[in-house]
Amino acid sequence: MTSGWALAAIALVCVTTSAIGLLGLRFTRGTSDFYVAGRTVTPWRNASAIGGEYLSAASFPGVAALMYDRGLDTLWLPVGYTVGYLVLLVLVAAPLRRSGAYTLPDFAELRLDSRIARTVCSVFVIGIGWLYLIPQLQGAGLVLRHVTGWPQSVGTVVVAALVAFNVALAGMRSITLVQAVQYWLKLTALVVPAFVMLAVWFRDGRPAAVADSTWWDPLTSTGNDGSLYGTYSVLLALCLGSMGLPHVVVRFYTNPTGREARRTTVAVLALLGAFYVWPPAYGWLGRVYLSPGTAGERDTMVLRLPESVVSTGVAQALGAMLAAGAFAAFLSTSSGLLMAVSGVLDQDIARPLQRRWRPSLQPSRSFRAAVLVATLVPFAVAVLGGTFGISLVVGYAFAIASATFAPLLLLGVWWRGLSRKGALAGVLVGGLGTSISAATMLARPDLVSGTVRQLLVDPAAWATPLAVFVMVVVSLMTPGSIPASTARTLTRLHVLEAVALGDLNADPRAESEREGRATGH
């Protein structure tokens, strides 16, 4: 489909993204602005930004394409994506904000008082971020290729360049504004075409969906890789993986207080619920008006649907809205991921090298160098590697987060007995188990079959409990490696700001930054 309207809509999204990013530059002054937007983001703005980055290619148009292909089993996906934030709200949202950290490795070092723990967590943050970025870049290429017929690499280049520009320009200040706007753009782009096509469906006498029995019956293994085990594994990965995604967690550091972080999470639940009503409707309409196609056709099902439902002129307008919304999804999610990965690369690699070789270099320059490196690696894989299923790769990112950072956060926030050795052992066991599963199935999917294949396709159900078990057992065996600062750290995480001592919640980085401003450094 070559549509001038769709191309114009995508161009408008790109121009708007750049303009908003430039606006964010006006408010960026110091390190805190780059990493956590000065910790001044209000709950609803932060919730909109979270919705913008969380609703990625896997949600728009990934969930619709999966339901179109696999059937009612995929209705569990929106439930899992949303419930993940309920777990975040109840268990870790406010303590994370009170920690005063900038990144997940910051939290690990604070809680475990260990540079080794920080380094290990940094490796997994970078790995998860890059794994999540690759399908965003490839998805953008697919959308632009469908709209224009251009090579897939063109869309990948556009998204990579634009996102790197915005993140390097003003960091978290910039992308917070960008992502908040893009959530509402995506919601509008999804809802308006859905209303129009559902109205046509009613007018046409509501034809039935065309599908075999396996599409209708949930929790069946016939015709797909589903099965009851697979469903529960995916739900576990989504529910616990959300709290371990680095680009999601970092947003809770931008709220002024722990209470505001909780309010943000409640708002996120409302915004996600409003969004996830619609992808299943597209999956249903796809089965009504389209016949099952190849893998590439399934990925572009949402964009092809208007052509089969409404007249040509209206179809082009609706297709343009959907293309713009899909492109906004790639841009906003890629921005959050790149911000998270760049922050870790800057703090744990660029800054140490800078202090050794070029101590006079400004922090903003080292951050921008980290943005360049964080962009080039997934960009090279997206262009030179094969095309992977969007939902499959994103699912592995959730599974790795579920088996590494979720146990670390839950036990780190709520259990005094967590030791350095126990935490490291659990993170390594869960991370290596899920990473090996992902590498095997992405590189050599024909290598295994049967039960082993199912365990590798959906590793969260065994890797996450195993990581928790290892953390607990090793911690109980090594009480001598429990950090001496545990009691103070847990008090800092759990005492409400209104009754906490002034120095208890002080952010040492913010204090250092304020001193630097005062002295002109």
336-346: pLDDT as tens digits:
899 889 888 88
173 CB-side CA count, 13 A: 17
- Summarised one tens digit per residue, pLDDT across range 422-451 is 999 999 999 999 999 999 998 888 888 888
What distance in Å separates the CA atoms of residue 26 and residue 174, rounded to the nearest whole number? 9
The token duo for 95 is 């303590």
Residue 462: the pLDDT is 97
Residue 249: the pLDDT is 81
The token duo for 430 is 């869960």
pLDDT interval class at 118 (50, 70, 90):
very high
**Beta-carbon neighbour count of residue 280 at 10 Å?**
19
| The amino acid at 229 | Y
Mean pLDDT, residues 460-476: 97
Among the ranges given (73-77, 136-140, 167-171, 260-264), the one the predictor scored with the smallest mean pLDDT:
167-171
Using alpha carbons, select from 6, 59, 321, 318 the residue that is nearest to residue 185.
321
What distance in Å separates the CA atoms of residue 88 and residue 93, rounded to the nearest whole number? 5
Going from N- to C-terminal start, the domains of the chain cover: 4-385
Q: Does domain 4-385 have CATH number 1.20.1730.10?
A: yes
Position 239 pLDDT exceeds 80? yes
3-state SS, residue 14: helix
To the question of pTM greater than 0.85 for the whole model, the response is yes
The alpha carbon of 120 is separated from its chain's Cα centroid by a whole number of angstroms, namely 20
What distance in Å separates the CA atoms of residue 367 and residue 174, rounded to the nearest whole number? 14
DSSP-assigned letters across all residues of 382-443: HHHSPPPPHHHHHHHHHHHHHHHHHHHHHHHHH-TT--HHHHHHHHHHHHHHHHHHHHHHHH
Using alpha carbons, select from 470, 485, 479, 493 the residue that is nearest to residue 419.
479
* SS3 of the chain: helix, strand, coil, percent, to 5: 80, 0, 20
Mean pLDDT of the chain: 84
For 206, which DSSP code?
-
Position 286 pLDDT exceeds 50? yes
Task: Kindly tell me the sign of the dihedral angle through the C-alpha atoms of 183, 396, 346, 405.
Answer: positive
Residue 401: the pLDDT is 96
Residue 98: the pLDDT is 85
- Summarised one tens digit per residue, pLDDT across range 25-56 is 666 666 667 667 777 889 999 999 999 988 88
